[in-house]
Chains A and B, each alone.
Chain A
Amino acid sequence: MPSSIANAAPAATAANLNDQQTQDLHQKIAATVGRIEVDDAKMSMRDVDVFYDDKHAICAVNLDIAAHEVIAMIGPSGCGKSTFLRCMNRMNDTIENCRVSGSLKLDGVDIYDKKQDVVQLRARVGMVFQKPNPFPKSIYDNVAYGPRIHGLAANRAELEEIVVTSLERSGLFAEVKDRLDKPGTGLSGGQQQRLCIARAIAVNPEVILMDEPCSALDPIATARIEELIDELRKNYTIAIVTHSMQQAARVSQRTAYFHLGYLVEVGETAKIFTYPEHKLTEDYITGRFG
């Protein structure tokens, strides 16, 4: 086996072929640099293409995510990080003009298979969004919502137990323990984001997808969430999109660099940030791009 799976020539689309620059880019990113596969892959993506109508947003991306690792996805704005992340729990299904092809597997089972139920998938692959989006309900109900709809708790006591542990894990419990019945929307931005994390982990998912979870937060709240991510790694597999290279360096074990829909380079975080192999990665990391 070669150390990297060579990308098949990306599907030729009208938009791609017309443009000399994009053709050059094809040449430049002939294949993803670095090791795509891992030994104990939790999720495994092969030849993923995503289109928004004619726009080719993700081009033939191959990537594995190992169990209990934090993988960071970085890259300039508009390169398709969110798009790729949202493929992994089929949130893209809700976007009408979005088309996904290729194979995306969770524990070896294709998640885009007709037999795969999206509700079940999203219970297994949770998501935290860029902007904190708590429900306009009480803090308790925010966290209890997932367990309730999935029927994870047999009685009130069990549900309360789940809510409390989730809030504890997200590091929010101490701050809100005597106002659980107050609206979640009344919390500060950082607290709201931790509430959203608590809501996601209350369902006990196997994978958590985080799309720039700290972009709306101050450095202290960010630091708390970064700590939290490191904690969560024991129990969950995490894919995080971030614009902060420091953050990627701090929280992740592996880093994937995306560029204009291509996965340019992937590898150990330490190595990517010290000895990037690809020219584009190096430009981005050293601040010459993006």
Chain B
Amino acid sequence: MSNADEQAAVVDIVTAGLKRRYAAERRFRLFGLLSVVLGFVFLFALFASIISTGYPAFQSTYVQLDIDFDPAILDISASPGSEELSAANYAGLVKHSLRELFPAVKKRRERRSLYQLVSIGAEYELRNRLLTAPSFIGRKEALWLPANDDLDTFMKGGIDRQLPQENRRLSDQQLTWIDALLEAGRIEKRFNTVFFTSGDSREPELAGIKGALLGSFYTLIVTLVLSFPIGIAAAIYLEEFASRSRWTDVIEININNLAAVPSIVFGLLGLAVFINVFDLPRSAPLVGGLVLTLMTLPTIIIASRAALKSVPPSIREAALGVGASRMQMVTHHVLPLALPGMLTGTIIGMARALGESAPLLMIGMVAFIVDVPQSITEPATALPVQIYLWSDSPERAFTEKTSAAIIVLLVFLVVMNSLAVYLRKRFEKRW
């Protein structure tokens, strides 16, 4: 057989196989496309369900009442001190104005169910109003006050009138009052500022996300401040300075193993070390941050080492060749090139830390905390823990709060990631 024949035979063989090869490629592309589409469908379904259940929580129902700041009803003297003011009978104000609106309601039991339409948050609001402006005493004002969560749920369509009375949270009588109030234009849905300005509460209409949001924020700040420099320093040391020895091998294996340790174990460690040995405050973002630092460090170190490894060795040789010291080589040339990759790793770690609840449960950040934390040592909870707590509450109104908190968490995540992408772009531009 001549060479030309052989070449022709090769062409035939190649052509025969081509169809199969292209078919395989098309199949692969189809599968890829399918999985992307499937992913998008699930993502869309998830978002749609969360947003549709969550968005009502950004509104809440208010009732307009004519409040008579009469010292007699308030049970105070004509010119009270602030102590007297804070102990005054604000519930009486609300009850009084409700009684005036519905003079026909006389029986004690009926009255009590009438009073239930307004949230006890109304009393706090009235008290705040008087404490900041005592001049209101003696005046009469039409004020919008928060409604009870049952009324709120009703306004958002969560209570069915057709159900028999025993099976719904509002009685027939309450419904007629509500209808009367609606007729008079005294019920309105407004933007729910409470949700963003207050901490947790047993009353759904008073429960807010601010405490958890700040708790998460402080926790993440502690985590970032500790884990970023430590992680990067460790990665640089291991990658650029440490000579390979049995010790560095042991360290490397351990770091890789630590990255795979379930996060709850870090929570237990934090409880045992930071709280029981070092006596740091329980439930505090400081401890949460420390625990999440332990959890995040391996991720950051591994990602940073990969980023350092990807810097071409010729850059190192060039720097050493003109007489740079090792430290100069790292800080002037290697680090700037590796930084974008390190930032990516850090962001992945931080995003994981933001969504983590198990280790925080272990160190007491699951407690029911009403106050909004002011510093990293005050008791706080975190967003995922708050979501967990609310999802566990029986009231219908907490369901929407849960979804709203998830929305806030996702927004937080998106903001954080965009910031990282922006930073990375800036660092990359410098070259």
A119 with B318: CB separation less than 8 A = no
B333 with A135: CB separation less than 8 A = yes
In the complex, identify which listed stretch (A23-31, A121-129, A274-282) lies at the interface while the others stay far away. A121-129
B337 within 8 A of A: yes
8 A Cβ contacts from A112-144 to B: 119-120, 122-123, 126-129, 131, 133-137
Query: Smallest CB-CB separation from B324: which chain A residue?
Result: A149
**Do A203 and B322 contact each other (CB < 8 Å), given the known contacts A96-B244, A145-B332?**
yes
List the A side residues contacting B325 at CB < 8 Å: 119
B315 with A91: CB separation less than 8 A = no
List the A side residues contacting B317 at CB < 8 Å: 91, 94, 127, 129, 133
List the A side residues contacting B113 at CB < 8 Å: none
**Do A133 and B314 contact each other (CB < 8 Å), given the known contacts A96-B243, A145-B332?**
yes
B323 with A196: CB separation less than 8 A = no
* Size of the chain A interface, CB-CB below 8 angstroms: 28
Q: Mark B216-246, 1 if CB is under 8 A from A, else 0.
A: 0000000000000000000000000001100
B431 within 8 A of A: yes
List the B side residues contacting A199 at CB < 8 Å: 318, 322
- How far is it, in angstroms, between the C-alpha of A89 and the C-alpha of B332 when the chains are bound? 21
B323 with A133: CB separation less than 8 A = no
Shortest distance between the CB of A183 and any CB in chain B (Å) = 7
- How far is it, in angstroms, between the C-alpha of A129 and the C-alpha of B325 when the chains are bound? 18
- How far is it, in angstroms, between the C-alpha of A62 and the C-alpha of B318 when the chains are bound? 28
B316 within 8 A of A: yes
What is the interface of chain B mostly: helix, strand, loop, or mixed? helix
**Do A150 and B323 contact each other (CB < 8 Å), given the known contacts A91-B317, A96-B244?**
yes
**Count of chain A to chain B residue pairs whose CB atoms are closer than 8 Å in the complex:** 65
- How far is it, in angstroms, between the C-alpha of A163 and the C-alpha of B149 when the chains are bound? 75
List the A side residues contacting B322 at CB < 8 Å: 122-123, 126, 145-146, 149, 199-200, 202-203
* Size of the chain B interface, CB-CB below 8 angstroms: 20
A91 with B321: CB separation less than 8 A = yes
B323 with A129: CB separation less than 8 A = no
List the B side residues contacting A149 at CB < 8 Å: 322-324, 328, 332
**Do A203 and B316 contact each other (CB < 8 Å), given the known contacts A96-B243, A96-B244, A135-B333?**
no
Query: Smallest CB-CB separation from B321: which chain A residue?
Result: A127
- How far is it, in angstroms, between the C-alpha of A89 and the C-alpha of B323 when the chains are bound? 10
- How far is it, in angstroms, between the C-alpha of A119 and the C-alpha of B326 when the chains are bound? 9
- How far is it, in angstroms, between the C-alpha of A89 and the C-alpha of B318 when the chains are bound? 13
8 A Cβ contacts from A236-287 to B: none
- How far is it, in angstroms, between the C-alpha of A196 and the C-alpha of B70 when the chains are bound? 88
Task: Select one of B312, B316, B321, B332 contacting A126, CB under 8 A.
Answer: B321
Q: Mark B44-65, 1 if CB is under 8 A from A, else 0.
A: 0000000000000000000000
List the A side residues contacting B312 at CB < 8 Å: 133
Shortest distance between the CB of A194 and any CB in chain B (Å) = 14
Q: Which of B312, B314, B337 has the most CB of A within 10 A?
A: B314
List the B side residues contacting A146 at CB < 8 Å: 322-323
Task: Select one of A119, A120, A133, A137 contacting B324, CB under 8 A.
Answer: A119
Q: Which of B319, B321, B324 has the most CB of A within 10 A?
A: B321
Task: Select one of A89, A131, A136 contacting B337, CB under 8 A.
Answer: A136
B431 with A136: CB separation less than 8 A = yes
List the B side residues contacting A203 at CB < 8 Å: 322-323
- How far is it, in angstroms, between the C-alpha of A50 and the C-alpha of B231 when the chains are bound? 37
- How far is it, in angstroms, between the C-alpha of A175 and the C-alpha of B316 when the chains are bound? 27
B431 with A133: CB separation less than 8 A = no
List the B side residues contacting A196 at CB < 8 Å: 318
**Do A122 and B318 contact each other (CB < 8 Å), given the known contacts A96-B243, A136-B337?**
no
- How far is it, in angstroms, between the C-alpha of A126 and the C-alpha of B324 when the chains are bound? 11
8 A Cβ contacts from A153-171 to B: none
B431 with A89: CB separation less than 8 A = no
B318 with A94: CB separation less than 8 A = no
B321 with A122: CB separation less than 8 A = yes
B320 within 8 A of A: yes
Shortest distance between the CB of B402 and any CB in chain A (Å) = 49
Shortest distance between the CB of A144 and any CB in chain B (Å) = 11
Task: Select one of A89, A120, A183 contacting B321, CB under 8 A.
Answer: A89
- How far is it, in angstroms, between the C-alpha of A208 and the C-alpha of B291 when the chains are bound? 53
Shortest distance between the CB of A45 and any CB in chain B (Å) = 19
List the A side residues contacting B332 at CB < 8 Å: 145, 149
- How far is it, in angstroms, between the C-alpha of A196 and the C-alpha of B243 when the chains are bound? 29
Q: Mark B302-318, 1 if CB is under 8 A from A, else 0.
A: 00000000001011111
8 A Cβ contacts from B158-183 to A: none
List the A side residues contacting B320 at CB < 8 Å: 91, 94, 122
Task: Select one of B315, B323, B337 contacting A119, CB under 8 A.
Answer: B323
Query: Smallest CB-CB separation from A128: which chain B residue?
Result: B321
- How far is it, in angstroms, between the C-alpha of A128 and the C-alpha of B323 when the chains are bound? 12
Q: Mark B395-431, 1 if CB is under 8 A from A, else 0.
A: 0000000000000000000000000000000000001
8 A Cβ contacts from A170-188 to B: 183
- How far is it, in angstroms, between the C-alpha of A154 and the C-alpha of B368 when the chains are bound? 64
Q: Which of B317, B328, B337 has the most CB of A within 10 A?
A: B317
- How far is it, in angstroms, between the C-alpha of A136 and the C-alpha of B324 when the chains are bound? 16
Query: Smallest CB-CB separation from A131: which chain B residue?
Result: B314
A200 with B321: CB separation less than 8 A = yes
List the B side residues contacting A123 at CB < 8 Å: 322-323
Task: Select one of B318, B323, B333 contacting A120, CB under 8 A.
Answer: B323
Shortest distance between the CB of B100 and any CB in chain A (Å) = 78
Known: A145-B322, A149-B322. 11 other contacts (CB 8 A): A91-B317, A119-B323, A122-B321, A123-B323, A133-B317, A135-B318, A136-B315, A149-B324, A149-B332, A150-B323, A196-B318
- What are 11 A-B pairs at a CB distance below 8 A? A89-B321, A94-B320, A126-B321, A126-B323, A133-B318, A134-B318, A136-B337, A149-B322, A202-B322, A203-B322, A203-B323
Measuring CB to CB, which residues of chain B are less than 8 angstroms from any residue of chain A? Answer: 243-244, 312, 314-325, 328, 332-333, 337, 431
